[in-house]
A and B are shown apart, each in its own frame.
Chain A
Amino acid sequence: MADAMSLPAAAARPRRRAPGAWAEALAGWTLAGPAIVLMWLMLLGPAVGVIGLSFTDWTFGAPQIAWAGAANYVELWGDRVFWQSLRNTLAYVAFTVPASVFLGLGVALLIEAGDRGRGLYRALFFLPVTSTLLAMALVFQFAFHPTVGLVNQALGWLGLPTTDWLKNPDTALYALGVIGIWQALGLNMVLFLAGLKAIPKDLYEAAAIDGADGAWDRFVRVTWPMLGPSLVFVVTITAIRSFQVFDTVAVLTEGGPNKATSVLLYQMYQEGFSFLRSAYAAALTCVFLAFVLLLTWAQTRLLDRRAHYG
C-alpha cells in the first residue's frame, strides 16, 4: 500500500495543495462514496453486528434484547453438537484439501507435460467448477444410491465392499468430501497451470547444465521450489472454501445421520433459522470467522517467509 503513495504524479506536485487538489479530493469522495456506504451497510457493518449480537441473549422476533456477556460462548463450550460440528468441519477440510490440491497439481503437471489435447483436458477438469453444485449434488445422491448407484455397482463389480454411503455415519462425511474434491480439483488445476507458466524456462536449462536431466530431477530442483507461493495460495483458498461447506450437507444429509455430517455453517443455519436462536447462531458465526481469519493469517506468514525469491 505504501507504493500507492509514491505515484509519479504525487511526487511531481508541490507540497502545498494546488488549487486542483480540492477538486480532486471532492471527486475522489464522490466516486468512492456510494461504494463505501454500501460496503459498510452490507459487509463490514453486519460483520461487526454479528460479533455484537453474539454477546446478547436475543432470539429472533423477541421484543427485548439484553447483554449476556460471554454466555453464548460458555454454552458453545459445553455444546456437544458444536464440538461434533467443529470436528466434522476440520475432518472435511483435512480430507478434501490435500486430495484436491495434489490431484489438481498432478493434472496440471500432466497437462503441461505434452502438447496434445491441452485445451480439451483443461475444459474437462474445469467444467465442474462452473456447474451448479446443488443440481450436481442430486446426481451424486443417485450415484451413491445403495443398490442402483454407479458407485456401488462399480465397487461390486471390482469385488470391493459396498455400503449406503450417505446413510452410514462412518462414510457420509467422506462421501460429501468426494463431491467437494470433484468440484475443487479443476480450479486448483487452473491455478497451478498459471503457476507453472510463470516459471522461467531458462531455470530448466540451467538445471540441465547442472546435471538435472530426468523429469523427477527437474521437478524436485526447479518446479517444486518455484511453485511454493502458488501452493500456499491454492491450499489457503481451498481450505477457506472447504470451511464453507454447506450446500451438499443441507440438501443430501441435513447434518445426519446422527450429526455425522453436521458442519459449522449447517449448525449455524439450524440454530439461527430453524430454532431462531439468533444470538447463539451469531456466536457460531464468530467461531467460523475466527477459523477463516486464522487460515488467512497462516497464509501471510508462510508467504512472507517463502516469497522472497526475486
Chain B
Amino acid sequence: MRPRPLWFRLLRHALLAGLGLLMVLPFVLMVSISLKPAHEIFAPEFRLLPEQWHAWQNYSLAFAKQPLGRYLLNGLLVTACIFAAQALFALPCAYALAKLRWRGRETTFVFVLLALLVPPQVPAIPLYIGLWHLKLLDTYAALILPSTISVFGIFLMRQFFRTVPDDLLHAARLDGLSEFAIVWRVMLPTALPALVAFGLLSLVWNWNDFFWPLLVIQTDTLATPPLGVVFFANAEAGTNYGPLMAAATVITAPLVIAFLVAQRWFIDGVTMTAVK
C-alpha cells in the first residue's frame, strides 16, 4: 500500500485526538471538580485546576459522610464470589457439553442458547419474590445468588473446549485422571485466556450493575459501588458536587485502573468473545 499523504495523516490524528478528548472529558471533569471548593465549582469560567486546592477536604468528607471503603469492599466481595461460582459451575458443564457424549446433551445446549437470549432484567420479578419468601432480601446472598450461573460463560468455554484435541483427553484418561480432574487439570490450563476474558467481562458487568442491587438492597452498609454513589447523591441532595465527585472518582477508579493495567486483556477479551 502506498504511504498516505501528509495531510491525511494529520487529519487522522486531528480527528482521533479531538474525538478521543471528548471521550475522556467526563473523567477529567470529574477529577477536576473533586479537587475544587464549592465557590470555584460554580464559578462562571471553567478552569482545569483549582486556584485553591480542596482535594483533602472533598475526599475526607466523602469518606466521612458515607462508608465508601465499605462500598468498595462490598463490590470486591460480591464480584469475587460471583465469578468464583460462575467458573465453578460453568467449566464442568462446558466440558461435558464439548467433550462428553450423554443423552440430553443437545437439549441442554439448546436451552443454554435460549437462556443467552434472555436479558438479565427479565427474571428479576420472580427472583425477587423467591428471595422474599426465603427472607433473603437485603443480604449479600440476594446480590450473589441470581448471578451464580452464567450461560454466557458456559457457551464461551464450550466453544474453547471444543478446540482442545481429543488425544490430550485420551492421554489424561490413560494416566488415570477422573473426568472431574480432567476439567481442572487438563482443560482449564489450555483455556486460560478464555477464562481470563470471561472473568474480566464478569467483573465489569457485576461491578457496574445497578438494576439488581437497587431492587434488593436497602441497607447502606450492603451497597455495591454504583448503589453507594446513589445513596451518597441522595444524602447530599445533589448540590454538594465536590465531595460527590470525589466519591464518584473513588468508585470509578478501580475499574479504570484495572483497565489501564490490563488493557490488552480487556480488548482481546471483548473481541474474542464477540467473534467466538
Interface residues of B, count at CB 8 A: 103
- Return the CB mask of A116-155 against B: 1 if under 8 Å, else 0: 1101011111111111111110111111000110100100
Task: Tell me which residues across on chain A come within 8 A of B274, comparing CB atoms.
Answer: 191, 194, 233, 237
- Return the CB mask of B200-232 against A: 1 if under 8 Å, else 0: 000010011011001100000000011001100
* Beta-carbon contacts under 8 Å, A8-33 to B: 8-10, 21, 24-32
Task: Tell me which residues across on chain A come within 8 A of B208, comparing CB atoms.
Answer: 131-134
Cβ-defined contact, A27 with B229, below 8 A: no
Nearest residue in B to A197 (C-beta to C-beta)?
B271
Task: Tell me which residues across on chain A come within 8 A of B115, comparing CB atoms.
Answer: 39, 43-44, 47
Which of B52-60, B188-196, B249-257 is the interface stretch? B249-257
Shortest CB–CB separation between residue A87 and chain B, in angstroms?
20
Nearest residue in B to A244 (C-beta to C-beta)?
B119
Task: Tell me which residues across on chain B come within 8 A of A193, comparing CB atoms.
Answer: 271
Task: Tell me which residues across on chain B come within 8 A of A233, comparing CB atoms.
Answer: 274
What separation, in Å, do the CA atoms of A111 and B12 have in the docked complex?
Answer: 8
Whether, in the assembled complex, A246 has its beta carbon less than 8 Å from a beta carbon of chain B, the answer is yes
Task: Tell me which residues across on chain B come within 8 A of A78, comparing CB atoms.
Answer: none
Whether, in the assembled complex, B112 has its beta carbon less than 8 Å from a beta carbon of chain A, the answer is yes
Task: Tell me which residues across on chain A come within 8 A of B90, comparing CB atoms.
Answer: 35
Whether, in the assembled complex, B146 has its beta carbon less than 8 Å from a beta carbon of chain A, the answer is yes
Whether, in the assembled complex, A53 has its beta carbon less than 8 Å from a beta carbon of chain B, the answer is yes
Q: Name A136's contact: one of B102, B128, B252 (CB within 8 Å).
A: B252
Nearest residue in A to B127 (C-beta to C-beta)?
A46
Cβ-defined contact, B118 with A35, below 8 A: no
Whether, in the assembled complex, B23 has its beta carbon less than 8 Å from a beta carbon of chain A, the answer is yes
Task: Tell me which residues across on chain A come within 8 A of B102, comparing CB atoms.
Answer: 24-29, 32
Chain B interface main SS type: helix
What separation, in Å, do the CA atoms of A285 and B208 have in the docked complex?
Answer: 22
Q: How large is the interface on A (under 10, 10 to 19, 20 to 34, 35 or more residues)?
A: 35 or more
Shortest CB–CB separation between residue A238 and chain B, in angstroms?
12
Known: A27-B100, A35-B90. A289 touches B42 (CB 8 A): no
Known: A4-B109, A130-B204. A190 touches B270 (CB 8 A): yes
Shortest CB–CB separation between residue B108 and chain A, in angstroms?
6
Using a CB–CB cutoff of 8 Å, the interface residues on chain A facing chain B are: 1, 4-5, 7-10, 21, 24-32, 34-36, 38-39, 41-47, 49-50, 53, 60, 103, 107, 110-111, 113-114, 116-117, 119, 121-136, 138-143, 147-148, 150, 153, 182, 185-187, 190-191, 193-194, 198, 204, 233, 237, 240, 243-244, 246-247, 250-251, 265, 268-269, 272-273, 278, 281-282, 285, 288-289, 292-293, 296
Known: A143-B26, A288-B119, A292-B119. 18 other contacts (CB 8 A): A25-B103, A34-B93, A38-B148, A42-B149, A47-B118, A60-B129, A119-B263, A127-B23, A128-B26, A129-B204, A131-B256, A136-B26, A194-B274, A204-B1, A251-B233, A272-B124, A273-B215, A285-B124
